[in-house]
Structure 1
Amino acid sequence: MSMHTEAILRRDLAAAYRLAALFGWDDTLYTHFSVRLPGVEPRFLINPFGLMFEEIRASDLIVVDMHGRVVEGNADYNVAGFTIHSAVHMARADAHCVIHTHTLAGMAVAATDSGLAQLNQISAEFHQRVGYHTYEGIALDLGERDRLVTSLGDNIALMLRHHGLLSVGASVADAFYVMYYLNKACEIQLAASSLRGVREMPSELSAHACEQFQAAEWQRHLVWEAWLRKLERECPEYKD
């Protein structure tokens, strides 16, 4: 594996943590993002338990294998985070990055019977692309990994009932973009819940808009580069 490649992945994952802090997605020391490292032996980068998102730098990230061993770094990880992230990384070859959050809007929508509603253009991007996973308590049981993977299926996101949100992507940029707009859709739904006369879009219209979004996914890297420029202005030390 090229050290240059790992350096870029470290930079991008550290950027995701810093952006999450700027956007108010953090939950003190809890929740976690990961990115798979290239190589024969499956391993991934994840945050060291004990640092707040606003503190994380590229060099702070630790490397964990699929057996739960820290193979690089001098810190431990959140055990529930290992359960969730290792499950997805082992099952989805395309899910190089996994992002999990406990945002107010995400947890609120995850507590509803119907889940994400098709209320707006933003939610249309997730039309039939979100799975749902039944809450089993804090994810300390490795036996839950198979059920998590089944719930996720081939979707780009997972709503963890009574818990929060999860997104996956071929890169940190992709997974972060998906989480940003999934959370935005939840924020809109939460705001709309206090209004009268809210109507959902017809399924065929949501499907059409979803296809349009998928055709424009190449634009995600432009959004990511803009976010990186924001970090350069506000906290450039994240790359250290």
Structure 2
Amino acid sequence: MALNHEENLRVDLAATFRIIAHLGMHEAVANHFSAAVSDDGKKFLLNPKWMHFSRIRAGDLLLLDADDESTASRKDVDATAWAIHGQIHQMLPAARVVLHLHPVFATSIACLQNPQISPIDQNTARYFNRVAVDEMYGGMADTTAEGARLAGLLKDKTRLLMGNHGVMVVGKTIGEAFDDMWTLERSCQILVTAWSTGQPLRVLSDEVAEKTARSWEKITDFSEQHFEEMKYLMIKHDPSLAD
């Protein structure tokens, strides 16, 4: 029997949690991913509070409504998840998928006085002039006002480097958002590794960096296939993720 739209989203999102855990990009039982189900983006799937990414199944995902304020008091919904994801799905209907993580290398860059991803190779160049930066960390993001502020920072961008905090990626599909998050973390790892040599960086010219970034934007099918391959590996390892 063919799966419907929500069922497909559930499987894909559950696979994303498993992939991120497999890659070691998760943080304990924190961090959250969401995916819009309704056309207006306000009904969305979210992982339950404090459940480890490595065991999340499709049926475990919560179906929430950004207009339902009573959700804030639910015991299975993390306050920071509701504050951030609820507001983004409320304010940005084009953000069909929202991934928020604290991966080591991207978070390290976010903690710098100048939190910028310098274009030194084709991975880092993917983000040339394409990352919003938040430099106003004020503690746990557990209020709707803070979630609205973060949503407002994205504007025309799909990546937010959250100063002293972590990183957020939004996208049209789960595949695109996953590959973007993976490449963003890899870019920061490359940059931190290059800096660690103590030698000067050979930074690409603005012209080459922009050309490379535009080339990335033309191959969303690459991103989708990266996700599909990783999803296949996760389902092969544990088919119960689709339950």
TM bin, normalised by shorter chain, reads: over 0.9
Matched, 1:226 2:229: yes
Correspondence 1:46-57 to 2 at 5 A:
46-57=46-57
Given residue 237 of structure 1, which amino acid in structure 2 is its aligned partner? S
Conserved in 2, the CA contact under 8 Å of 1:156 and 1:178?
no
Deviation at 1:145, TM superposition (A): 2.6
Correspondence 1:149-164 to 2 at 5 A:
149-164=151-166
Correspondence 1:31-180 to 2 at 5 A:
31-38=31-38, 42-66=42-66, 67-70=68-71, 76-115=76-115, 116-133=117-134, 134-180=136-182
Q: Secondary structure at the match of 1:12?
A: helix
Per-residue CA shift, 1:151-176, capped at 9, x if unaligned?
11111210000000110111111111
Q: Secondary structure at the match of 2:144?
A: coil
Deviation at 1:200, TM superposition (A): 1.6
For 2:79 and 2:69, the matched residues in 1 are separated by 9
For 2:149 and 2:82, the matched residues in 1 are separated by 15
For 1:29 and 1:68, the matched residues in 2 are separated by 24
Stretches of structure 2 that go unaligned for 5 or more consecutive residues are none
1:39/1:202 CA distance change after superposition, 3 Å: closer
Which deviates the most, 217-226 or 101-110? Answer: 217-226
Given residue 123 of structure 1, which amino acid in structure 2 is its aligned partner? T
Q: Percent identity?
A: 27
1:198/1:140 CA distance change after superposition, 3 Å: same
Stretches of structure 1 that go unaligned for 5 or more consecutive residues are none
Given residue 122 of structure 2, which amino acid in structure 1 is its aligned partner? Q
Deviation at 1:68, TM superposition (A): 4.3
Deviation at 1:222, TM superposition (A): 1.6
Conserved in 2, the CA contact under 8 Å of 1:68 and 1:82?
no
Conserved in 1, the CA contact under 8 Å of 2:159 and 2:169?
yes
Given residue 169 of structure 2, which amino acid in structure 1 is its aligned partner? S
**Aligned residue in 2 for 1:7:** 7
For 1:41 and 1:205, the matched residues in 2 are separated by 36
For 1:68 and 1:35, the matched residues in 2 are separated by 19
**Aligned residue in 1 for 2:211:** 208
Deviation at 1:190, TM superposition (A): 1.4
Conserved in 1, the CA contact under 8 Å of 2:160 and 2:167?
yes
Deviation at 1:113, TM superposition (A): 2.4
Conserved in 1, the CA contact under 8 Å of 2:57 and 2:240?
yes
Q: Secondary structure at the match of 1:184?
A: helix
Deviation at 1:69, TM superposition (A): 4.0
For 2:41 and 2:80, the matched residues in 1 are separated by 22
Conserved in 2, the CA contact under 8 Å of 1:48 and 1:75?
no
For 1:41 and 1:157, the matched residues in 2 are separated by 18
TM-score, normalisation: structure 2: 0.91
Deviation at 1:91, TM superposition (A): 2.1
Which deviates the most, 191-200 or 16-25? Answer: 191-200
Conserved in 2, the CA contact under 8 Å of 1:62 and 1:75?
no
Per-residue CA shift, 1:50-84, capped at 9, x if unaligned?
310001000001112113445xxx96111111111
1:132/1:214 CA distance change after superposition, 3 Å: same
1:68/1:48 CA distance change after superposition, 3 Å: farther
Deviation at 1:206, TM superposition (A): 0.5
RMSD: 2.0
Which deviates the most, 92-101 or 228-237? Answer: 228-237
Conserved in 1, the CA contact under 8 Å of 2:105 and 2:188?
yes
